[in-house]
Amino acid sequence: MRPIRFAITALAAAALTVPAAVPAASADTAERHWPPHHSHGKAERLRWAAPHGFHIGTAVAGGGHHLEQDYPDPFTSDRRYRRTLARQFDSVSPENQMKWEYIHPERDEYDFEMADRIVRFAGRHGQVVRGHTLLWHSQNPAWLEEGDFSDAELRSILRDHITTVVGRYRGRIQQWDVANEIFDSEGNLRTEENIWLRELGPGVIADAFRWAHRADPHAELYLNDYGVESVNAKSDAYYELSRELLADGVPLHGFSAQAHLSLDYPFPGGLEENLRRFDELGLGTAITEIDVRMTLPESGEPTAEQLDTQADYYRQALSACLDVEGCDSFTIWGFTDKYSWVPVFFEGQGAATVMTEDFTRKKSFFAVYDTLKDEKRWWPGRPGHGRGGH
């Protein structure tokens, strides 16, 4: 069956690149009438196009860089945003609202309000939740980073945090990013920046997974990072760590690539091969934070060619995931350019998501939609579905 499926995917890819082949004089017309070969109306829903057991997700905008923008909290204040969030996606990841600085602002104080609201919203709309994140070097509160704690105190602070946060949402989080960005680009553990690794040593990684598993035995527990799309020094380090953790009986269930991509770089080669080697260890895999940024022309508007290439990056990333049995979720790091982190962090860059600032669906939206639909036509359900957790 597999070769047939590849042929179909290749056909879909050819259809997607058609506008690039039209003569320059008619490029504008092609743009206005995109997509040329599909009769896409208003009703396309990514979540309906996805095969059973495959989750199509988005970050839920709030906290972090949003706090410095001139708009109110997107998730609670923008009705159109919420409507699209519910309609299009069946997986949600709090963008910042479960991070330490947000959910644990003082040593003896938790603030669950936003996280609770997101988890309730997901429940109402039949969505799963990816919890993000428990052990990270960034977005930690000052009381933690600047505090003067003994090793024993720090250990109990981390254990209590994981037990409290994971336990609160027991049974309602599909996947947790337990350890986030723990290696640098050379594949060395971030023992300087990461307070837990620096103070408690690498053994704390296994402990974090064990504590999380005890607090919610059904949650699938993940290692998550950026720059690990290809087979490279960093992903090799994750591969070795995964093997060690599994050999030690640590409840590790998955490895995920964030996939913050850029048109300034070629599409990361070997994504499928890389995911597959983790799959072969028996781990689930996922794309957890994809966006595809670009350097914008002076007008501030992406060109038709940039949008074509962007659509192709999204399609390639999704196809790689779909072609690996246990890769069962694909999350976009924000679905509208209106709230994307990209222009705030990368000067002159943007347009990284699948919808414009006014929620118009871009070519990349239809690339994701068509790729999901093609997959579902041939493989209505995911064979590797549900391998993590439990």
Q: Indicate whether 328 belongs to the interface with ligand 9MR (CB under 6 A).
A: no
What are the CA-CA distances from residue 105 to residues 10, 161, 323 (Å)?
Answer: 49, 12, 41
Residues in Cβ contact with 120 at an 8 Å cutoff, skipping those fewer than 6 apart: none
Tell me how far, at minimum, the Cβ of 344 lies from ligand 9MR, in Å: 7
Partners of 128 in the β-ladder: 91
Residue from 44, 220, 229, 289 carrying the catalytic annotation: 289
Q: According to DSSP H, which parts of 194-299 are helical?
A: 195-200, 203-215, 233-247, 271-279
Q: Which is nearer to ligand 9MR, 84 or 139 (CB)?
A: 139
DSSP state of 249: T
Q: According to DSSP H, which parts of the chain are helical?
A: 2-16, 18-21, 27-32, 46-49, 74-77, 79-88, 100-103, 113-124, 142-145, 151-168, 195-200, 203-215, 233-247, 271-279, 304-322, 342-345, 363-378
Q: Indicate whether 289 belongs to the interface with ligand 9MR (CB under 6 A).
A: yes
Tell me how far, at minimum, the Cβ of 355 lies from ligand 9MR, in Å: 16
Structure tokens at 100: 């330490």
Burial of 187 (0-12, 13-18, 19+ CB in 10 A): middle
Q: Which is nearer to ligand 9MR, 65 or 172 (CB)?
A: 65
Q: Which is nearer to ligand 9MR, 49 or 98 (CB)?
A: 98
Q: Which is nearer to ligand 9MR, 65 or 373 (CB)?
A: 65
Residue from 101, 181, 220, 375 carrying the catalytic annotation: 181
Tell me how far, at minimum, the Cβ of 267 lies from ligand 9MR, in Å: 19
Q: Indicate whether 139 belongs to the interface with ligand 9MR (CB under 6 A).
A: yes
State which of residues 138, 156, 188, 360 lies at the interface with ligand 9MR (CB under 6 A).
138
Q: Indicate whether 175 belongs to the interface with ligand 9MR (CB under 6 A).
A: no
CA 138 to chain centroid: 17
State which of residues 58, 96, 175, 274 lies at the interface with ligand 9MR (CB under 6 A).
96
Q: Which is nearer to ligand 9MR, 209 or 339 (CB)?
A: 339
DSSP state of 225: E
Catalytic residues: 181, 289
* Residues that bind ligand 9MR in the complex, under the rule CB under 6 A: 64-65, 95-96, 138-139, 226, 258, 289, 341
